[in-house]
Structure 1
Amino acid sequence: MRRSQLSAVLIASFASLSLLSVAAYAEWPQWRGANRDDISKEQNLLQEWPAGGPPRVWMFENAGVGYSGPAIVGDRLYTMGARGGKELLLVLDANTGKELDAVEIGDVLENNWGDGPRSTPTVDGKFIYALGAQGNLVCIEAATGELKWKKSMQELGGSIPTWGFTESPLVYEDIVVFTPGGEQGAIAALDKKTGEVVWQTKDVTTGAHYSSLVVRQGKNGPELVQLLADQVIGLDPKSGNVLWSSPWPGKVAVIPTSIIKDNMVYVTSGYGAGCKLVEIGDDGEVKDVYENKVMKNHHGGVILLDDHVFGFSDDVGWVCQDLKTGERVWRDRESLKKGAIAYADDRFYCLGEDDGQVVLIEPSIEGWKEHGRFTLDPQTDQRKDAGKIWTHPVINNGKLYLRDQNLIYCYDVSESGDATAGN
């Protein structure tokens, strides 16, 4: 990699950010968006799709293998992919799909379900943080284009889980937080500028699984919430001390990101585990509101909207669930097979993992109400037999971004239809 080229790209990107308001650029700087809830604040989007779906603006064909999603800040798209045996942080022009540069993270993870990185980079002002599937966490300084620091999960006592490290690092104030797992402490916080260890949860030693941390604003201050294979916990971000914990019967792989609603935390995972809602008291006392099998979400994610949870439940279908009672409101087993979900401007964007169908539906409590669909075309020839289309949809700046391994697609979903066309 030519450092001067990367430096110019990142400096230009950072300069563009400084000219934008926080509301304008902080739309999708990390996994599941600014609030890690998969809710885009985009407006003025198409409410009905034409036959064949919205127009494609561009398609990038050299993202390499992997399942990493996009973080989009200003006119830059950051993602990861594996090419030539190396995992890379990729920088693309979000409007045209042109590759601007790439930063090496480490050696590629090889896996029967698909090689390459799984997580989404996190953009925090002038720094970019990315975690490779082998466990290499890097920090790139945008102002200089330099690798600021690098830390491996193995240095912190972690070991590579079955499907690789998939967690997207969380930046909170002056720390970057993630889950190496293991006897030295399941969750760790590093100084985001230096990479030095600030704390590690030595009293919690669960092995790393696949969920990403979120922030909850509790009555007594902020908390870091993580779903582990054996429990859902809340941590003090300053010390890493456990503030509360509730058991979780995780099986095989615990993946979906926790959902936060006031003093409630909702978790779900697949392989028959189910879902659970806990209520956190002002004194840190944890109360189980319910635990059932209505939602058994594998890795397509769930979204909370107006006190209802939407997503795909294994062996059940697409589900709308009442958050507070846990009761199923409706399910649909026929309209679309298993997949991922995203939200923007009064519409859900559902992506079928098997066939690449993309469906626009209403966020209705009355049932599946469809407003258009199309199928990704072309599809990759680099996906392994056991792999599927697992990268979640992202909606930003009037565009819908999708990925199938080496292929990244950009569609114009704005009402005005004036997205800049690329090559």
Structure 2
Amino acid sequence: VYCLDANTGDELWTAMGPRGHATVTVKDGHVYALSDNRILYCYDAENGDLVWETEQMPKPEPHAAVTGSPVIWQDLVIVNIGGGCAIRRESGEFEWKFEGYHGLATPVLFTFKGKPAVAIFLGDQLIARDCRTGEDLWSIPWKTSPGNNACDPVFIEDDSKMFLCTRYGKGIALYEIASGDPKELWYHRDQAHVYASGSWHKGTLYAFAANFQKLDLETGEILWDKWKSPMADSALFLGDYIVLTTEQGEVVIGKATEEKFEELNRAQVHVPQVRNVPAYWQGKLYLRNQKGGLVCAKIGK
């Protein structure tokens, strides 16, 4: 784990540990890093000192890599390992953990029947659990080969509906979930991305296949023709602007209209294999690639 000066890129501290693919999570002066060996590490954000580390979590099947980031809920850190695990932030001890066929997505918090819940996209299903107890609330079968469910679920309309997407023989779907017995509202096969999650922004549903797409919420049909939107692999929403990035390191800035994506600017940033959604801070865009390379680019005026 590296801590860098956000303005200069100078290294402030380094914490050496096992390899990890997941983006770290920072909260209340602590850095939570999930490694591929299924151990969660907690570091002091000021100096990189190790605060605690967990025991090894349930064996991953079928993945050796872990790509979902840790998610903070109150005094717990929730991770997509096995069938889902929750770790106490104070001590690194387990609050709950389950065996399972873990996926590659980041857990997503939502509200179910007025109570806090978390959706964990495993390799064979989407499972909703009670944040405090880990109780299984409901699930949706969604098995892919080889279990590469890497796109985060998207909750819309006051968490009454949920959008799922995955390639590998599946596609995109919208479910009604408020009742606790999920009902499929629509499904389109093979219309999805490998790892780019959809987005619900200002009452509009966006998704990815080869291109950035605007979808009809009622039917799932594509409202933008593929020639009216650019190739993209992630989207970052900044007010009225949308920042799209490609795996090849191209950045496209534009606005969404009823008819199309209106491109305003485009630039090539020399960092290949960009699969992470970029981060934005004070007019700067940070892009990280699969090999740990990081580029900071100035955007805006």
* CA separation of 1:231 and 1:264: change in aligned 2, threshold 3 A: same
**Per-residue deviation, 1:281:** 2.6
1:210 aligned to 2:104? yes
Aligned to 1:193: 90
CA distance in 2, matches of 1:142, 1:306: 34
Contact kept in structure 2, 1:311 and 1:340, CA below 8 Å = no
Match among 115, 126, 131 for residue 232 of structure 1:
126
Distance in 2 (alpha carbons) for counterparts of 1:210 and 1:220:
27
User: CA–CA distance in 2 between the matches of 1:372 and 1:225?
Assistant: 36
Structure 2 residue aligned with 1:408 = 294
CA contact (8 A) 1:227 1:267 kept: no
What's the counterpart of residue 250 of structure 1? Answer: 144
Q: Distance in 1 between matches of 2:63 and 2:131?
A: 28
In structure 2, C-alpha distance between the alignment counterparts of 1:352 and 1:264, rounded to whole Å: 28
TM-score, normalised by the number of residues in structure 1: 0.65
Instruction: Measure the CA separation in 1 of the matches of 2:73 and 2:5.
Output: 27
Return the alpha-carbon distance in structure 2 between the equivalents of residues 320 and 357 of structure 1. 20
Deviation for aligned residue 1:128? 1.2
Question: Aligned partners of 2:61, 2:281: CA distance in 1, in Å?
Answer: 32
Shift of 1:143: 6.4
Q: Which amino acid aligns with 1:367?
A: K
Q: Specify whether residues 136 and 200 from structure 1 end up closer, same or farther in structure 2 by C-alpha distance, changes over 3 A only.
A: closer
- The amino acid that maps onto 2:43 is I
Q: Name 1:325's counterpart in structure 2.
A: 219
Count residues with an aligned counterpart.
Answer: 297
C-alpha contact (below 8 Å) 2:235/2:243 kept by paired residues: yes
> Which moved further from structure 2: 328-337 or 219-228?
328-337
Q: Is the 8 A contact 2:88 2:95 kept in 1?
A: yes
Q: For residue 233 of structure 2, what is the aligned residue in structure 1?
A: 339
Distance 1:335 1:215, change over 3 A: closer
- Structure 1 unaligned segments of length 5 or more: list them: 1-88, 109-116, 381-387, 416-423
CA distance in 1, matches of 2:254, 2:222: 18
CA distance in 2, matches of 1:352, 1:145: 32
| Separation (CA, whole Å) in 2 of partners of 1:140 and 1:249 | 35
Partners of 1:178 and 1:146 in 2: CA distance: 22
Determine the C-alpha separation between the residues in 2 that align with 1:151 and 1:248: 29
- 1:170 Cα deviation (Å)? 0.8
Identity of aligned residues (%): 26
Partner of 2:172: 275
RMSD of aligned Cα (Å): 2.2
Q: What one-letter code is carried by the residue in structure 1 that aligns with 2:284? A: K
- Determine the structure 1 residue equivalent to 2:36: 133
More helix by share: 1
Pick one of 65, 74, 83 that aligns with 1:164.
65
User: Which consecutive segments of 4 or more residues in structure 1 shift more than 6 A?
Assistant: none
**What is aligned with 1:92?**
4
Which is bigger in relative contact order (C-alpha 8 A, separation at least 6)? 1
CA contact (8 A) 1:302 1:309 kept: yes
**Cα separation, 2, equivalents of 1:162 and 1:247:** 18
- Structure 2 runs not aligned, ≥5 long: none
Q: CA deviation at 1:334?
A: 7.8
Preserved CA contact (<8 Å) 2:177 2:183: yes
Q: Could you say which structure has the larger radius of gyration?
A: 1
